[in-house]
């Protein structure tokens, strides 16, 4: 489970501070699939990064009682000048996994072919997403943090993600940040609507989408 208590995040912005999050509380249990809905700049990505531990909250506590993936997003998590294979090797090392297993899984899942031998900075965003998903699925976390990035994949990739995440790993938790109501309805059981740094959790997905529409 993941528990967030009164999370606040402030960024320095000139003389004044920008309050990105102003006190977020929620709890996510094992196997729950939760969406973060909000317009651009509502604080979805910031919240995901805090949960993933990429940045630290200005105030509040985040407790992680299950293994949580790094945020799968458009950037971050990789070294652009290194090849796909090198990144896979690095990830395998820091997570203490067997490189060969990780490599085989990623080759099969991401279908990047000879691009695995190319620097990651040459990848398209769809290819980066495939690599990130492949690696994090190979590591096998209890909870996956997905920041929008699932939307960039083509149909075939989305089908694959669904199969891996919903069928083979139906007991895993998932947090999906998106501004797309369609994606959240498709992947999540409940959702938090974020606006202006505040968040309201709706236990019914329809109620969440309705609230999001009203924004």
- Would you tell me which residues interact with other proteins (CB under 8 A)? 11-12, 49, 52-56, 58, 68, 70-71, 75-82, 86, 90-91, 93-96
* Torsion angle defined by CA atoms of residues 109, 114, 119 and 122, in that order, rounded to the nearest 10 degrees: -90
Nearer to other proteins among residue 68 and residue 194 (C-beta): 68
Contact criterion met (CB below 8 Å) for 169 and 138:
no
Nearer to other proteins among residue 86 and residue 111 (C-beta): 86
CB 75, min distance to other proteins, A: 6
Token pair 């790993």 is at which residue?
169
CB 53, min distance to other proteins, A: 4
Nearer to other proteins among residue 22 and residue 64 (C-beta): 64
Nearer to other proteins among residue 82 and residue 200 (C-beta): 82
| Token pair in block for residue 114 | 């000879």
Contact criterion met (CB below 8 Å) for 78 and 136:
no
Using a 10 angstrom Cβ sphere, with 0-12 exposed, 13-18 middle and 19 or more buried, the burial of residue 12 is: exposed
Nearest to 24 by CA among 40, 43, 38: 43
């Amino acid at each position: 489970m993941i528990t967030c208590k009164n999370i606040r995040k402030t960024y320095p912005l000139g003389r004044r501070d920008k309050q990105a999050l102003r006190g977020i509380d929620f709890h996510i249990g094992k196997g729950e699939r939760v969406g973060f809905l909000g317009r651009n700049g509502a604080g979805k990505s910031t919240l995901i990064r805090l949960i993933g531990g990429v940045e630290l909250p200005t105030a509040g506590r985040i407790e992680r009682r299950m293994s949580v993936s790094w945020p799968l997003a458009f950037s971050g998590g990789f070294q652009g000048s290194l090849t796909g294979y090198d990144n896979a090797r690095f990830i395998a090392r820091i997570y203490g996994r067997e490189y060969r297993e990780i490599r085989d899984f990623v080759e099969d899942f991401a279908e990047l072919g000879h691009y695995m031998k190319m620097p990651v900075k040459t990848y398209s965003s769809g290819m980066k997403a495939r690599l990130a998903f492949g690696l994090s699925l190979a590591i096998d976390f209890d909870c996956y943090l997905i920041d929008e990035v699932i939307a960039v994949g083509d149909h075939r990739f989305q089908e694959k993600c669904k199969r891996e995440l919903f069928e083979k790993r139906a007991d895993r938790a998932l947090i999906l940040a998106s501004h797309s109501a369609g994606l959240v309805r498709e992947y999540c059981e409940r959702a938090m609507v974020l606006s202006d740094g505040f968040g309201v959790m709706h236990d019914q997905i329809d109620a969440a989408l309705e609230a999001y529409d009203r924004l």
